[in-house]
Structure 1
């Protein structure tokens, strides 16, 4: 029996779930607060099992067409001394090659493939949910209503629906600001060859993604007063005042003319992803933060997991969601733990930690680099295929 499924939040997780579930024949409605979707957004790296799932959905070629080259990365000290130089081809030898793409680019690939197959309600959010036996009554922000067999909440990190109905949920504060975006500018960098600066309380990544465009990502430890969010130019200038003139001028142009996204990094903590006929998906349920490097891939995997268990018991959605929750918990733990480890390693808190990182990372063998860079981003074949060992 086909179900009426509402997905609140049409981001990467929501649209991936819509793709899987519409393919099973269910009637899918996606509600999103945005007036429309765009291709704008900060840069993300889709890695490992995320790439495999997109290929499974028949979308890998579209992703490649919308992606930017990624060939080499240099980890640097603030004075441009090289800590480690890595080839992405070598680093990803035994797994799928990463796809470097804007968040909007990945989202647009999903949307273009789906827009004629599902019902999408723009400028729409959930105002109220009411349990009505085996279904849920939904009232939208415009006053309209629907009855859903399942409500999938994929509204992102600051989900209002999660906060309203999952009252035990919380947020782990990393005391770190993320600043990311893109800048159209002439530059002297090599497209596909990236720089990542490691420093006390900060990490700066510079990605030449086209001959006339650079993407920038910056992590800054910051606690307390959120006022600096409103002064990105001053924040970047003060944080990187001791860096080279080239870096300082680039950040100045970025703060003045770039398309910038700023947010405080947090990680969702919730004991159970399911409440009745409501289920949390993607960042709304288990955001691993950008520091995990696997936020997009984990959202895509979660969508596949949920649709997999629904396909096994389509007439018993509560059991399907319970199985999804049970399956996802150890996977969530893995990637959230990775985020904490990456924060400690790549954003050292003091000079001693920085010196330890530089020394150990510089001396790391290929096997040790694989353990640091590749092992944390993979799943076992049993996990990928939902097989219980």
Structure 2
């Protein structure tokens, strides 16, 4: 098969690394890709917001399958435009991608189909949202309705913080994403990420992970796109997984089909495991970042076979097998992240970091005059596998320490909850 991967981040590098191992692969392209992806695929500098150019590339390279990594092209309808000319795509239609494109849409779906989630209100003006916040009180969660690049969500512990978050959304800080706001009940419990390959009818469980969204150790400081992750999530027991599938994922697929928006692609469920059972926090319609990096380290099977089966509506005949090992990734970020990451600093020593069970995925790098430099906020994903989360963490941090990059920083406590559990069981 000739395959085109859309995207340029650490998630896409991890997908590219795994896809490149498939015996089914004939030719492999990425648009636009990054220096790490370029080691396993031919990178093409195409503007992925120009759907006509992407279609032309697919025709020129006789592409058999397009795998779309980020959410923005999916919400913008890239999958629809490719399918309209007969090109097979892994990823949902724009109508189905509204599960991520509009938090309010997802909450309404939950209400209509009895999917457990936090109590909520939807608002298109600051006055009504503020009145709701005052009526419910804190702690409370305020979310910009649309895509806000991993931002736009405030877990407010005080009334003042919640009201400030409402004002921030309606002041235009998040552009059109903040024109509507969802205000939610604050849920308590343990948060996990669960993934499902879907073909509109069948949902195939595709692993679990837990990530660290806050920039500071001990899970403190501003939210980020994710500072690290590990898999599997210890809290995701077989019993919980069965409940999530039966109570959340399958009703979602049935509801989306009934609404004329059949969902095909990967459904990434952010879950809170409460005393009442699992509840949906939000959906993403693409693989997580940095969760994908740890999933790909553990996946035994041929990723290309699985993604192609999802695109063909053949998941009922498929299964996914996982290595018994744990995997953990540490995000090596540029100084100043998440507010104002410093770009252009040189990175050396990646060859010293790689080793048995260790991979360094490029998330925000560029080549400049033959030098590898930082070109984003989250720059490298240093990823390792081990018999336990603790062993994987030790290998990942040893690899971090082998990299020569004074302009970078990372959290030193990724996986701390799972490691504490392991030590308690010892």
Does TM, normalized by the shorter one, top 0.5? no
Q: Which one has the bigger helix percentage?
A: 1
Specify which structure has the bigger relative contact order, considering alpha-carbon pairs within 8 angstroms and separated by 6 or more residues. Answer: 1
TM-score norm. by structure 2 comes to: 0.30
